[in-house]
Amino acid sequence: MSRSYYIAGNWKMYKTRPEAADLAKALVAGLRGGKHKYLVAPGFTLIETVAPIVKGTNIRLGAQNCAAEEQGAHTGEVSVLQLKDLGVETIILGHSERRHVYKEDDALINKKVKLALQHGFELILCVGETLDEREAGRAEAVCETQTVEGLKGVAAGDLNRVVIAYEPVWAIGTGKTATPEDADTIHAYVRQVIAKLYGQGAAEKMIIQYGGSVKPENAAQLMAKENIDGALVGGASLKTETFVPIAQFG
């Protein structure tokens, strides 16, 4: 089964509106005619600026998080209804910075996953182990738990709107990349977890991105691995000169 590649840029908490507009315009030009699936996820305050620039192009519009409730008295949170209103199509959930810095646990992430799917979004569910967990030989177990708990209650029919991103925490923003072999081992394991939950057919179709210091120099080797179906890119997504070559790898 051939899966198509999906390259996503997570702009994190970078850029002002003029900078975001410039980057989005340059990416639209740079990725025109590109053969893969693409996404940019600007910060919340930038979404309205970026939305008209990417509309109708081959770049999807993403958000980096959403609240676990549809709406209500949740100061400082952003609702799925507000994201939908801006034209957001995809929401990144369970990013390691959300899990480890902002202490989001699997139950909260699962609530967001179900809410996002209920509202018709595609989502990218991030999973990944810390360095301590890897050194303790627990990388697979951690990714399994995050996958199983994150997808609890998700119907098989909604799985085509779920992408998984394997992002080892020790590789995010550190310049350290998992070797293509190590990453592929975890991707294959996560695919087996999906097979156990939803069957082999669903597992074969599941897009599993790799994230963690992906750069133009390592993208092609990572993407060449059987179970690596794209990338979730942080730092290198902030510049056209680095994101476009990653997105056009090969």
Stretch that binds ligand PEP, among 20-28, 35-43, 77-85, 210-218 (CB under 6 A): 210-218
Q: What are phi and psi of 101, to 5 degrees?
A: -85, -40
Q: Examine residue 241 and tell whether it contacts ligand PEP (CB under 6 A).
A: no
Measured from the CB atom, the residue of 37 and 198 that comes closer to ligand PEP is 37
Q: Which helix (H) or strand (E) holds 167?
A: none
Q: Examine residue 232 and tell whether it contacts ligand PEP (CB under 6 A).
A: yes
Q: Which helix (H) or strand (E) holds 118?
A: helix 106-118
Q: Examine residue 211 and tell whether it contacts ligand PEP (CB under 6 A).
A: yes
Q: Examine residue 104 and tell whether it contacts ligand PEP (CB under 6 A).
A: no
By annotation, the residues acting in catalysis are 95, 167
Q: Examine residue 235 and tell whether it contacts ligand PEP (CB under 6 A).
A: yes
Residues 6+ apart with CB under 8 A from 51: 61, 86, 87, 88
Closest CA to 238 of 14, 49, 59: 14
Q: What are phi and psi of 10, to 5 degrees?
A: -105, 105
Query: Least CB distance from residue 88 to ligand PEP, whole Å?
Result: 17
Q: Examine residue 91 and tell whether it contacts ligand PEP (CB under 6 A).
A: no
Measured from the CB atom, the residue of 68 and 235 that comes closer to ligand PEP is 235
Within 162-201, the residues that bind ligand PEP by CB under 6 A are: 167, 172-173
Q: Which of 9, 150, 230, 234 binds ligand PEP (CB under 6 A)?
A: 234
Number of residues that bind ligand PEP (CB under 6 A): 14
Q: Examine residue 10 and tell whether it contacts ligand PEP (CB under 6 A).
A: yes
Q: Examine residue 116 and tell whether it contacts ligand PEP (CB under 6 A).
A: no
Provide the phi-psi class of 99: left if phi over 0, else alpha when psi is between -120 and 50, else beta: alpha
Closest CA to 94 of 61, 50, 137, 143: 143
Query: Least CB distance from residue 216 to ligand PEP, whole Å?
Result: 12
Query: CA 1 to CA 80: how far, in whole Å?
Result: 33
DSSP state string for 32-59 = TT-SSEEEEE--GGGHHHHHHHHTTSSE
Tokens of 9: 């840029």
| Residues that bind ligand PEP in the complex, under the rule CB under 6 A | 10, 12, 167, 172-173, 211-214, 232-236
